[in-house]
Amino acid sequence: IYQCDWSSDVCSSDLELDAGRRREESITFATIFSPRRYVEPFRAFDMVPDMVALTVAGFSFAMVQGAVFSFYVTYLAVDLGFGLVAAGAAFAVMQGVGVGSRVLIGWIADRIGSARKTLMVLVLASATMATVIAFHGAEWPLPAIMVAVGISGVAVASWNGVYLSEVARIAPPDKVGEATAGTGFFSFLAYAISPSLCSLIIASTGSYRTAFLVVGSAPLVAAFLLARIRGD
């Protein structure tokens, strides 16, 4: 893959991963903070019509993940009375399963040959598990809670890598970086909005259940949009 001239310590790659780099452009304070650089990622939405649908799907995934990760421990410990130790253990299980499942879900998407179809399953699973979490009860035995959080770790937290691979698939080859930056902006925006929205709902209604149900409804819109994306 790499061809090197060891006498001059210069290597070139047959892959030409930085072929689009503008070598004549110097890196200065002005170029780094140029408004044009912050607008360029969003131009990817004009290049590919499906990019808007995929971005909405990513926003929905992040809404659920942000809500669950922000409030699940407090929900179990304070609202349902499981205590901090049990709530912390449940959250650790969710996080641990989420780490491993990202690799597993990527492998599954590769085996079936479709990141989009994998995302469609995950988006429905995310909405389902947000609903299951909403209907947790103080009478639930701890083993049942652990099973639920294990499944939630897969459904809520394993979408990121497969999502980015789908962004790379539908974006023009020379605009994958810009497309990733543009969609990523809205995903991280959802992470910021989701806890605030849940806090507002909980403060207004006094109900964690309502907050999880409202946020959990977002992926249902994403499922419809993902089904409309062309190809696999």
Dist CA 193 CA 188 (whole Å): 9
Q: Report the first-to-last Cα separation within the chain, whole angstroms.
A: 29
- The residue with greater pLDDT, 110 or 17, is 110
Name the DSSP letter for residue 8.
T
The pLDDT tens digits for 181-224 are 888 889 999 999 999 999 999 999 999 999 999 999 988 888 88
Residues facing 10 on adjacent strands? 5
DSSP H/E element including 10: strand 10-13
The amino acid at 6: W
| Better-predicted residue by pLDDT, 182 or 4 | 182
* Residues 130-177 pLDDT 10s: 999 999 999 999 999 999 999 999 999 999 999 999 998 888 887 888
Indicate the DSSP class of residue 174. G
191 contact partners, CB below 8 Å, separation of at least 6 = 62, 65, 66
Supply 152's token pair.
């939630």
> Comparing 21-25, 125-129, 217-221, which segment has the lowest mean pLDDT?
21-25
Q: What is the mean pLDDT of the chain?
A: 85
Sequence-ordered list of residues with C-beta below 8 angstroms from that of 190, at least 6 positions apart, any chain = 58, 59, 60, 61, 62, 63, 66
pLDDT of residue 47: 73
Average pLDDT, integer, range 71-89? 95
Span 20-49, average pLDDT: 67
pLDDT at 2 over 60: no
**Cα–Cα dist 175/117, whole Å:** 23
As a 3-state breakdown, the chain gives helix, strand, coil percent values, each rounded to 5, of: 75, 5, 20
Percent of all residues in the chain with a pLDDT value above 90, rounded to a whole number: 59
Cα dist from 3 to 18, 22, 87, 101, whole Å:
15, 22, 54, 37
DSSP state of 80: S
Other beta carbons within 10 angstroms of residue 24's beta carbon come to 5
pLDDT for res 20: 60
Cα(186)–Cα(184) distance, integer angstroms: 5
Q: Would you place residue 40 in the very low, low, confident or very high pLDDT band (cuts 50, 70, 90)? A: low
For residue 26, pLDDT beyond 70? no
Length of the chain: 232
Residue type for 80, please? L
- The answer to whether residue 34 scores a pLDDT higher than 90 is no
